[in-house]
Amino acid sequence: MSKRKKSLISTCVLLILLIIIIAWGNKAIEINTYQISSKKISDNFDSFRIAQISDLHNAEIGEDNKKLVSKLKSTNPDIIVITGDLIDSRTPDVDTAIGFVEEAVKIAPCYYVNGNHEARVMTEYEDLKTKLSELGVYILENKKMEIEKGSETINIAGINDPVFYADIVRPQLTEASIEHVKGNNENFTILLSHRPEMFDLYAEYDFDLVFSGHAHGGQFRLPFIGGLYAPHQGAFPQFDSGLYTKNDTNMILSRGIGNSLFPFRINNRPEIILVELKSS
């Protein structure tokens, strides 16, 4: 066999292996766990577990999302928060999103906030909201609620994605939404917001814990560097994945489940976030 033919075969084998690794990495969900401590967390909410799903984008992990649901169930959450982009505006599929949520609500109460993809397809979004409401999902459109456990409560709020108001995203639009849901600083308060790039604003308003998505983990992740690109942040984004802290505000940023403009991710497995609250 000639050297050229051997080289061609080796290249083909490497390409096939790379394709297999990328395909596996786009479907192999991992669970990442964080503990958040605060003096505002009462004994009743000590060890309270919150699972986060973000950026489903109509993805299916396993037939009818059975693998995703199974992983989510294994986290044994007290509540589930869904932080936007359940559907993808390029190929909106409400049925796939609802099929997943039908199973999620059997696991724990679900709280939902929209993302920029919902804002782009208003007809489908209205259909999605109707069906989510029928399933008993709490839809947080510039809205705040209390979660009760025994005689104690914590607050949970959600704000609309700014694309609902303008094509050009400005901090002022997010601030106007926050004004609808801000409260006193006595209760531990969770904010659901699709946009991580507004983290400084969330900290300014003293939210205790923020759940966000949108960045897709930077899509392609390099060791020791992180994500390469995130929507509305550009190359080498400041916020791409994990835990960020400023003053007394913590933000958990999910890498999400599905893909959108880029049809695959590299070194960036889809994830379910699990947060356990701790009294300190």
Cβ neighbours, 10 Å, residue 273 = 26
6: confidence class by pLDDT, cuts 50, 70, 90: low
| C-beta separation of 244 from 237 below 8 A | no
Q: Report how many domains make up the chain.
A: 1
Domain with residue 78: its CATH number is 3.60.21.10
Nearest CA-CA partner of 59 in 44, 45, 69:
69
Percent of the residues in the chain that have a pLDDT greater than 70, as a whole number = 98
pTM over 0.75: yes
Q: How far apart are CA 156 and CA 140, in angstroms?
A: 9
Q: How far apart are CA 160 and CA 165, in angstroms?
A: 9
pLDDT score of 182: 83
Instruction: Name the strand (E) or helix (H) holding 7.
Output: helix 3-25
| C-beta separation of 72 from 202 below 8 A | no
| C-beta separation of 171 from 204 below 8 A | no
pLDDT score of 132: 98
Which tokens in the block code for residue 17?
Answer: 């292996």
Give residue 179's domain range: 3-279
pLDDT score of 185: 74
